[in-house]
Amino acid sequence: MLRWLARRFAQIIPTLIVLSVLIFGLQQLMPGDPALILAGEERGDPMVLAQIRAELRLDRPLPEQYLNWIGNVLVGDFGFSWRIREPVAKLILQKLPVTFQLASMAFIIAVLIGVPAGILSATRRDTPTDWIANGIALFGISMPNFWLGIMMILLFSVELGWLPPSGYVSLTEDFWESIATTIMPAFVLGTGVAGVLMRHTRAAMLGALAQDYVRTARAKGVAERVVVWKHALRNALIPVVTLGTIEFGRLLAGAVLTEQIFTIPGFGKLIVDAVFNRDYPVVQGVVLATALIFVALSLVADLLYMAVNPRMRQA
């Protein structure tokens, strides 16, 4: 087990090195000169442009820029936002809890809807329950987030006045207000994931229910509820857990559109604004942080496998 963990960690290091080069390199391919956009309406002054380039070392060779950045990152310095002069690490730490809260709420909503619906439609295959569940899943997957978001704002904020239309209040500031500001975006995000989870749970359950051991259990007269919940579901959950962690990672990477609509100051909004403003240190920092989260989550997924499926523990 420990050796397995050590091996996994050893694999992570080269991944991160390649990633950092990719992040830095891809960004250079973006059209648009950061000095020009940073200069704003003063861009007509060549002196201003030269000054910006010198200050941000944009006039240095690319390898030097890269080494300078990665060297600082290794000692924990992600640099400063060019646009608002805040440390990138501070911005990441400020936005991460927001995104984490939103992603967790969305994920809980997704699991609460998706997994039971999947089980239900698998056990009642080809009945009206199955069709309705499938219809809802399709609705969740195919509904554009921005449209659903705007509709919810119009209904719950403008018409009914129940929820604030946008913005964010942190959990520590005001718990209920925090839930009120995040419930709509979490629902919008959650419905999409719920659809995916439902489809996969259904398929995995159908597969498991057709297995020999299930037939054996039924033949031995085990109650149907025990067959479904204890025998089939436990095996069916393995692919669902993998998918769940990947989906959770995707939610953490920032729900760009949803955060934009609801003006939730999370990761997605941070990176989109940074890209449009060519705020390179923020783009680099956020993408690297996201990559780290993904790597960590895939590790968690592997550990969860073992918890769910004893056979994996011998590997």
Partner 1 sequence: MIRAFWLILALLAAGSASAQNLRIGLREDPDILDPTLSRTYVGRIVYMSLCDKLFDINERLEVVPQLATGFTWEDPRTLRIALREGVTFHDGERMDAAAVVYSLNRHMTMQGSFRRSEISEIDALEIVDPLTVRIRLKNPSAAFMSQLTDRAGMIVSPRAAEALGRNFGTRPVCAGPFRFVERVAQERIVVERFEQYWDRANIHFQRVTYLPIPDNNVRLANLQSNAIEFGERMEPDDVRTAQRSRNLRVVPVEEIGYQGITINLGRGPGGSNGLARDARIRRAFELSIDRTAINQVVYEGMYTPTRQPLPPANPFHARDFAPPGRDIAAARALLREAGVTGPLTVEMIVPNNPDLRQVGEVIQAMVREAGFELRLRAMEYASALQAASRGEYETFLTGWSGRTDPDGNMYTFMRTGGGQNDGDYSNPAVDRLLDAARTEMDVERRIALYADIMRIAVAEDASRVYLWHRKNIMIHSTRLTGYSPVPDGLVRLQGMRLR
Residue 52 as a binder of partner 1 (CB under 8 A): the answer is yes
Cβ 251 to partner 1 shortest distance, Å: 19
136 binds partner 1 (CB under 8 A): no
C-beta of 191: minimal distance to partner 1 in Å?
19
Report, in Å, the least distance between residue 78 CB and partner 1. Answer: 14
CA dihedral 191, 196, 202, 208 (to 10 degrees): -140
Cα 153 to Cα 262: distance, rounded to the nearest angstrom: 9
Please identify which residue in 8, 141, 242, 273 interacts with partner 1, judged by CB under 8 A: 273
φ/ψ region of 125 (left if φ > 0, alpha if ψ in -120 to 50, else beta) reads beta
Question: Are 214 and 205 contacting, i.e. CB atoms less than 8 angstroms apart?
Answer: no
Identified binder of partner 1 from the candidate list 17, 154, 292, 296, rule CB under 8 A: 154
Number of residues that bind partner 1 (CB under 8 A): 49
71 binds partner 1 (CB under 8 A): no
User: Which of 3, 7, 13, 46 forms a contact with partner 1 (CB under 8 A)?
Assistant: 46
- What tokens does 40 get? 């704003």
Q: Is 128 in the site for partner 1 (CB under 8 A)?
A: no
d(CA 108, CA 113): 8
Tokens for 152, please give them. 């919810």
Stretch that binds partner 1, among 129-137, 160-168, 182-190, 284-292 (CB under 8 A): 160-168
**Structure tokens, 306:** 């073992």
Q: Using the rule CB under 8 A, which residue among 67, 167, 216, 229 binds partner 1? A: 167
Residue 173 engages partner 1 in binding (rule: CB under 8 A): no
The position carrying tokens 């956009």 is 37
Is the CB of 41 or the CB of 126 nearer to partner 1? 41
Q: Nearer Cβ to partner 1, position 38 or 113? A: 38
The single residue among 14, 40, 63, 76 that binds partner 1, judged by CB under 8 A, is 40
For 284, phi then psi, to 5°, come to -60, -45
Q: Which residues contact 74 (CB under 8 A, 6 or more apart)?
A: none
Among the residue ranges 35-43, 58-66, 191-199, 212-220, the one whose residues contact partner 1 (CB under 8 A): 35-43
Tell me what percent of the chain is helix, strand and coil, each rounded to the nearest 5.
Answer: 80, 0, 20
Tokens of 232: 């089939």
Measured distance CA(287)–CA(231) in Å, rounded: 41
- The residues of the shown chain that bind partner 1, judged by CB under 8 A, are 31-34, 36-48, 51-52, 55, 81, 83-86, 91, 94, 150, 153-154, 157-158, 161, 164-168, 260-263, 265, 269-270, 273, 276-278
